[in-house]
């Protein structure tokens, strides 16, 4: 009886580990920054214009993409846009060397003024929006 119970516990534990390993963010790339804003960030009832992105938008140096499956993580958001100073396609890989990417691109002048050094590989998404109602809501997460 003890032996059967122990086997059952080990099997259940193994299943939980496998499920946890498969439950990670999914990152897709390939859209333009304007498409990410219009198709992912804003919902109905919002007018968007003047979309600009500073950073790489093509592989293998993707700095912007769309994520899903966030409910399986501790982000608190199921899907959205992901922006990184590194390559967004390696974010689902927990052992990635995200900070090792060096695109040799410029940083951000505002951040350079705030800090004690020079920033590099800036990834900046900016856009103007106008809600068609009197209320706006948004969720965001800064992650590292």
Q: E strands of 29-123, at which residues? A: 46-54, 64-68, 80-83
CA-wise closest residue to 108 among 91, 138, 83? 83
CA angle 115, 118, 123 (to 5 degrees): 95
* pLDDT higher than threshold 80 for residue 107: yes
In this prediction the pTM is 0.75
Helix-strand-coil split of the chain, %, nearest 5: 30, 20, 45
Please state the rounded mean pLDDT for residues 84-92. Answer: 84
* pLDDT higher than threshold 60 for residue 13: no
Q: With contact defined as beta carbons under 8 Å apart, do 117 and 111 qualify? A: no
């Amino acid at each position: 009886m003890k032996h059967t119970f122990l086997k059952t516990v080990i099997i259940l534990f193994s299943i939980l580990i496998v499920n946890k390993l498969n439950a990670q963010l999914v990152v897709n790339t390939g859209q333009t920054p304007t498409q990410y804003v219009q198709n992912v960030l804003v919902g109905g009832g919002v007018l968007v214009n003047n979309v600009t992105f500073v950073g790489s938008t093509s592989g293998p140096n993707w700095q912007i993409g769309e994520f899903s499956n966030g409910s399986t993580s501790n982000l608190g958001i199921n899907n959205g846009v992901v922006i990184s100073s590194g390559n967004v396609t390696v974010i689902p890989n927990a052992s990635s060397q995200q900070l090792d990417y060096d695109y040799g691109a410029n940083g951000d002048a505002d951040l350079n003024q705030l800090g004690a050094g020079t920033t590099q590989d800036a990834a900046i998404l900016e856009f103007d929006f106008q809600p068609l109602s009197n209320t706006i809501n948004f969720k965001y997460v800064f992650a590292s």
